[in-house]
Amino acid sequence: MTSKLSRSVEVRTSPTEVMVDNTSGSTLSGGICWLFAVAGFAVGGTVIADNSLLTHLATGRLIVEQGQVPGTDPYSHDFAGMAWTVQSWLASLVYSRAVLVGGESVLRLIHGLLAALVMAGVWRLTAPARQLVVRVVLALVPLLIGGSLWSPRPFMFGLVGMVVVLMVIRGLVRPWALLPAMYLWVNAHGSFPLAFVLLGAATVGHVIDERRPPIAHLRLGAWMIGGILLAGINPIGPRLWWFPVMLLSKGEALEQVVEWAPPGFDKPVDYVYLGLLAVLIVAAKRGMPWADLLPAVGFFATGFLAIRNMAPASLVIVAMVAPTLADLVGRTVGDERGRPARMVTVAGMTGLAVSVIVVLNSPGLALDRYPVDAVDYLEDRALTPADGVVVVHREGVGNYLTYRYGAGAGVFIDDRFDFYPVERTKDQVTLLRGGDYRDVLDRHDAEIVVWERESAFTDWLDEEPSWDLAYRDDEWIVACRVIGPVADRCAR
């Protein structure tokens, strides 16, 4: 009689097979699952210093205050009133409600728990590998990549969605779970088409392997489509379905964004990701079926197109190679019970509880990376963008201003690169990397500049006779036009 576990290794991607990984109770596997959840929480629950989250939080406040999701831009100086699809409206609403209930530290709790769910799911997805050393190495890869690339924003909801889809494909959860998972994914983050790419690649691979129609995969596709259709019931409507297509049409602007650029192999995380190539080669030599190999190789390739793709790709690769790496090295782990298993379980559960308490009693946001004092200087003189003054700044400052002032913030740019015309993004690149500074400032009738103190642009402002550095601290400067309507107020 073949056990369920051995059958799940034999038929590696059959969605109808339910794999057994005894993560419940006080088994050793269950205890290690708790430890990985704690590690995930530690990575995801750090103090938040993310530009995008500030705007998501501001948008969530608007949704609560106005009782509806904004359909036009409320934040920018030049493009206020232009059509805007708030693709992550659900995440923004969750953020704002959470802050109302428990303060900004709850934002850390949310992302810590999302990261913990990701790592608990990853550990379960490594079950077919069976040996302790192989499972731990596989599970560590997404964790190490997450340490650099998991960001406290709706992106994490997308990673949880990917884990759920992988677990459905592996038979760890029932197909109906795709209904709520896809609803939440579509309404929280625009990466949901990755679910179709994953299932599609596995389906094609199954046809190559079995030479017969992939009935089980087609059923999963039907559940997935049902979840997508259900997701159309939202305050924005079907526009969310087309958002990823619209985003890709902004390719010229996205090329200027670091996370959308290919890896430069100047960071350790790039080489951790590259190490997955060796894992794929080993798995392929051991007879990895096409149903696993196609998704793994396809997603691995996406990581070289954009840095942001490394995180979801690592999840897919680990899940796909795990069955083929069974019996590679070391001893089997899973069902062991006894005192060591109980100690590991208690340690993991205690660690997670302590981590939650620490997070809830710590600051939620780190605003020291933003020009708080410089904006105070402007506010004291009624010279902020919210006062109608044209202030030029970089994208992260724009996110801070939306967080601080909400609707009517009047920002020059923020990091909603899918929203702004490509010309605005190019202007910011000129200010960041060098070019005709005077042309950019004159075309936009800039009256004030808020910028980092150590930069070529600031050096130019300091030497340019038509501009005066009215304020500076260790990190930031405020420059004002020498002649103009704000000159007297700026110098006071």
DSSP string, 291-356: HHHHHHHHHHHHTTT-GGGHHHHHHHHHHHHTGGGTTSSS-B-SS--SHHHHHHHHHHHHHHHHHH
**Residues pairing with 469 in the sheet:** 479
Instruction: Using the predicted structure, report yes or no on whether residue 226 has a pLDDT greater than 70.
Output: yes
Q: Read off the tokens for 156.
A: 């994490």
Instruction: Using the predicted structure, report yes or no on whether residue 13 has a pLDDT greater than 50.
Output: no
Q: Read off the tokens for 213.
A: 């129609």
Mean local confidence (pLDDT), 386-399: 95
Band (pLDDT 50/70/90 cuts) for residue 334 is low
Instruction: Using the predicted structure, report yes or no on whether residue 19 has a pLDDT greater than 50.
Output: no
Instruction: Provide the 3-class DSSP secondary structure of residue 467.
Output: strand
Considering the chain, what is the average pLDDT of its residues? Answer: 89
pLDDT of residue 335: 64
Residue 199 makes CB contacts below 8 A (sequence gap 6+) with 165, 169, 217, 220, 221, 224
Residue 50 makes CB contacts below 8 A (sequence gap 6+) with 151, 152, 153
pLDDT of residue 12: 43
**pTM, rounded to two decimals:** 0.90
Q: Which of 187-191, 386-390, 395-399, 481-485 has the lowest mean pLDDT?
A: 481-485
pLDDT of residue 201: 96
Mean local confidence (pLDDT), 359-364: 94
* Count of residues making up the chain: 492
Read off the pLDDT of residues 418-433 as tens digits, 9 standing for 90 and up: 888 889 989 999 999 9
**Residues pairing with 452 in the sheet:** 476
- C-alpha distances (whole Å) from 188 to each of 154, 192, 236, 392, 419 are 6, 9, 12, 30, 17
pLDDT of residue 10: 37
C-alpha torsion sign, points 357, 355, 64, 378:
positive
Read off the pLDDT of residues 126-147 as tens digits, 9 standing for 90 and up: 999 988 889 999 999 999 999 9
Instruction: Using the predicted structure, report yes or no on whether residue 336 has a pLDDT greater than 70.
Output: no
Sheet containing 391-392: give its strands across: 391-392, 448-452, 476-481, 467-472
C-alpha torsion sign, points 484, 486, 489, 491:
negative
Mean local confidence (pLDDT), 378-391: 94
Mean local confidence (pLDDT), 294-318: 95
Mean local confidence (pLDDT), 353-373: 95
Band (pLDDT 50/70/90 cuts) for residue 20 is very low
Contact 127, 19 (CB under 8 A): yes
How far is residue 21 CA from its own chain's centroid? 28
Gap between the Cα atoms of 165 and 134, Å rounded: 23
Gap between the Cα atoms of 297 and 293, Å rounded: 6
Gap between the Cα atoms of 214 and 208, Å rounded: 10
- C-alpha distances (whole Å) from 100 to each of 57, 94, 114, 364, 405 are 11, 10, 20, 13, 17
Strands 476-481 and 448-452: antiparallel
Band (pLDDT 50/70/90 cuts) for residue 333 is low
Read off the pLDDT of residues 60-106 as tens digits, 9 standing for 90 and up: 999 999 999 999 999 999 999 999 999 999 999 999 999 999 999 99
How far is residue 121 CA from its own chain's centroid? 17
Band (pLDDT 50/70/90 cuts) for residue 244 is confident
Residue 282 DSSP one-character state: H
Gap between the Cα atoms of 382 and 402, Å rounded: 17
Instruction: Provide the 3-class DSSP secondary structure of residue 227.
Output: helix
Strands 391-392 and 476-481: unpaired
Instruction: Using the predicted structure, report yes or no on whether residue 489 has a pLDDT greater than 60.
Output: yes
